[in-house]
Amino acid sequence: MPITFQCRGCKQDQDLNPRLKSPQQYCGEDDCQRERKRVWQQDKRRSDEAYRRRQHAGLVQWRSEDHGLRLSRYQQQYRESHPKYVEKNRAQRRRRNRARRNRDASTKIVKMDALPQTPVPSGFYLLTPCSLDASTKIVKMDAFVVALQVVHGDNASANAASP
């Protein structure tokens, strides 16, 4: 029975390749080999300053050889030859922009653990429960939500009665 290992790319149990000297971590599938190379390059860039500089210099040279302009020309030609794609893309962009304009960021995103810009004045406060409709808001859920009402002398009973 062959020895198996779990591939770090596809997370499947695979037969170990007996010809490899070091412990095998990735199978031979193309996607897993691309993942292995991506992880290696990421680690190499993080740990080797000279490698990082060489990679950057190669990228600068590649860009100077007109590759970036070739790509934009390709995109321009593609759009000219595919008018349906262009119209569909414009319609989607209009829809996204309209949705973004209609959405007010201050009412859409709730960060519950942030302190207000102006300090809360000292005093006694009445804490009352507040419900949030999670389907319409983006909510950061690591803090309690409370409504604070300042209670002043004679108004204390009136404020306590109305949340």
The model's pTM is: 0.40
Band of the pLDDT at 67, cuts 50, 70, 90? low
Residue with tokens 């934009």: 72
Residue 18, helix vs strand vs coil: coil
Residues above pLDDT 90, as percent of the chain: 33
Residue 67, helix vs strand vs coil: helix
- The chain-wide mean pLDDT, for the chain, equals 76
- 50 pLDDT above the threshold of 90: yes
DSSP-derived secondary structure letter, 5: E
Q: What is the DSSP string of 34-61?
A: HHHHHHHHHHHHHH-HHHHHHHHHHHHH
Q: What is the DSSP string of 100-140?
A: HHHS-HHHHEEETTPPPSSPPPSS-EEEE-----TTTSEEE
pLDDT value at position 73? 80
23 vs 1: which has the higher pLDDT? 23
What is the C-alpha separation between 78 and 97, in angstroms, rounded?
Answer: 24
Residue 21 neighbours by CB under 8 Å, 6+ apart = none
What is the C-alpha separation between 13 and 3, in angstroms, rounded?
Answer: 10
Instruction: Provide the residue ranges of all domains of the chain, joining segments of one domain with +.
Output: 4-64, 67-102, 106-161
